[in-house]
A and B are shown apart, each in its own frame.
Chain A
């Protein structure tokens, strides 16, 4: 077993222990110290896109030098001194939100966050293109985590966007809608009917619960999930409500047939 190195650092004047490789944000989250984030998700790789998680760091050996870093990316260091909130940080976050509000004036999430920093109307020129996308890239990363890798970011600077290859319905999209669910601003739209799910220009046929007929997931996703998990496709063909009903029916019929001795404990967990 490898022994992990423990690191001590200071956040807002309090001392904390951390494991080597943790980021400042990891420690702050563990300790309940609030740092705003828009592009961070614990299960996905951090990329530092939104810049909202900025904190100020310094070190006794740095001869008074201090600077702003993204806490979601910055690894903890022995003796590091972190400040999560002061005038400089506040102003930086305010500027970021002011810019985001210029980009997405209609996003209620951004409006609310910006208002917390005193920005109700952006001081920049409003975006002519209507969008709620803040380019945080969570959708791209969750798609990669699912293993589909259907979408990516394209272009640079003001032309950067989340895109489908050649602006066509992405061939690798399985229609799981994880991108839409994870999007912090609700920028990715999809439409579900009992028959189809429409997303990214696709129209996926839905698999329906074998018992109640409720749509479960797109056929293409079912194939994908069965193959990826190695489970029989049958696992994905019953909705959870019907699965539960089946469990009860199985136990009940066992009782009726006295297959399970009444009064004997039935072990359900290790």
Chain B
């Protein structure tokens, strides 16, 4: 069965390790701005974690003019083909949840790909098991 990235917000301490792990995994550096996952601190038990829902009927996929976004059938994640992306930014406007981002340097779309089937770095490094892949 396909594994699921589950979020248990009540366990999140908003330590931002997931963001850091994500940046290192995808961009090889620690800039939090390029993380595909975000935490929001509202106090214990109320912190939030947001990342892509990998929607079945994804608005980002529907609006992409060059088919740069497609579903990886083995992981269920919607992945960006960076070479195809023309950086038009439409996907990030269309996403009703604001989970789509863009690399500030070249405008290329950036999103969670569930680390391509390996255990997602965010879940692997989450010290409080607020993020799990199971």
A residues touching B (Cβ–Cβ < 8 Å)?
Answer: 29, 41-44, 142, 145-147, 176, 178, 181-182, 216-217, 225, 228-231, 235-236, 238-248, 251-252, 255, 262-270
A254 to B39, CA, bound (A): 17
Interface residues on B, range: 35 or more
The reply to whether B5 and A269 form a contact with Cβ atoms under 8 Å apart is yes
The reply to whether B48 and A252 form a contact with Cβ atoms under 8 Å apart is yes
B residues touching A (Cβ–Cβ < 8 Å)?
Answer: 2, 4-11, 38, 40, 42, 45-46, 48, 50-54, 59, 62-63, 65-68, 76-77, 81, 83-88, 90, 92-101, 107, 112, 114, 132
Number of CB contacts from chain A to chain B under 8 A? 126
Which residue on chain A has the smallest CB distance to residue B97? A247
The reply to whether B66 and A145 form a contact with Cβ atoms under 8 Å apart is yes
The reply to whether A268 and B5 form a contact with Cβ atoms under 8 Å apart is yes
The reply to whether A244 and B94 form a contact with Cβ atoms under 8 Å apart is no
The reply to whether A244 and B66 form a contact with Cβ atoms under 8 Å apart is no
A174 to B88, CA, bound (A): 13
Within 8 Å by CB of B46, from A42, A239, A255, A265, lies A255
30 residue pairs of the A-B complex, CB under 8 angstroms, read: A43-B83, A43-B85, A44-B66, A145-B66, A146-B88, A178-B88, A216-B93, A225-B63, A229-B62, A230-B62, A231-B94, A236-B93, A240-B92, A240-B100, A240-B101, A243-B97, A243-B98, A244-B50, A247-B97, A247-B99, A255-B9, A263-B8, A263-B10, A266-B6, A268-B5, A268-B52, A269-B53, A269-B77, A270-B4, A270-B76
A29 to B53, CA, bound (A): 31
Within 8 Å by CB of A235, from B52, B84, B96, lies B96
Within 8 Å by CB of B8, from A243, A248, A265, lies A265
Known: A216-B93, A231-B62, A239-B93. A265 touches B101 (CB 8 A): no
